[in-house]
Amino acid sequence: MRLPLRWPVVVLVGVVLAVGGIVGAYWDRVDHASVDARHAAALAGLKSDDVQARIRAVDALESVTKESPADQPAVTAELASFIRSVAGSGNCPDTGVGRDVQEALNVLVRRKVMSDGTTVVDLHGACLNNAAMGKIGLPYGNLVGTSLVGAELMFSVLDGADLTGADLRGADLDNARLVQANLSHTDLSKANLAGADLNYSR
């Protein structure tokens, strides 16, 4: 009489799962305790009164995402919050953003958008006049009331972004994507829209 094959199958599955766990542990070389400590230190550095210290903190947050990609969604949200707090709404200066805010924007430009997960970049109400943001990815971003006068947004991806009431006068949107973007009450006076894709925007 043949013995049922149930137990050999169960044993085989158990071995496969065990090996998978070992391999997974082997490949996870991230020192999470160290990364978490540097992450916390960088967040504290963002509150410094010294501009250069804030820039170093921004760069430290970028290094956290490179060592631990799983931290990128949180870092993306933290950088956006930092930008809003430093370049908040009010009388936006024509001179442009500060060096710390520009560096935070640079990190957002360099990041891999797909690694953000479900995080949506929230820059609503920020004063980002004359900011260099070419090739930035802000799909479905919250840019409600954001001032982007004269901003460089060439080849940016703003698909599905909410730009309600945003000020884009004189902004360079050459070859930018604004598919399905909300442009209600958005000021695009003298903006460069050469090659821009505004399909289904409203």
Q: For the chain, what is the mean pLDDT? A: 89
What pLDDT does 29 receive? 73
- Write the pLDDT tens digit of every residue in 166-188: 999 999 999 999 999 999 999 99
**Hey, what are 101's tokens?**
């805010």
Is residue 28 very low, low, confident or very high in pLDDT (cuts 50, 70, 90)?
Answer: low
Residues making up the chain, counted from first to last: 202
Burial category of 76 from C-beta neighbours within 10 Å (exposed 0-12, middle 13-18, buried 19 and up) = buried
Q: How far apart, in whole angstroms, are the C-alpha atoms of residue 154 and residue 156?
A: 5
For the cut 60, the answer to whether the pLDDT of residue 6 exceeds it is no
Is residue 57 very low, low, confident or very high in pLDDT (cuts 50, 70, 90)?
Answer: very high
Per the CB < 8 A criterion, the answer to whether 113 and 157 are in contact is: yes
For the cut 60, the answer to whether the pLDDT of residue 11 exceeds it is no
What pLDDT does 31 receive? 84
Question: CB neighbours of 157 closer than 8 A, spacing ≥ 6?
Answer: 113, 136, 137, 138, 139, 176, 177
- Write the pLDDT tens digit of every residue in 94-104: 778 999 999 99
**Hey, what are 137's tokens?**
């990815």
Q: Which of 6-15, 79-88, 112-121 has the lowest mean pLDDT?
A: 6-15
What pLDDT does 30 receive? 77
- Write the pLDDT tens digit of every residue in 122-168: 999 999 999 999 999 999 999 999 999 999 999 999 999 999 999 99
What pLDDT does 91 receive? 77
Residue ranges per structural domain of the chain: 33-113
What percent of the chain stands above pLDDT 90? 80
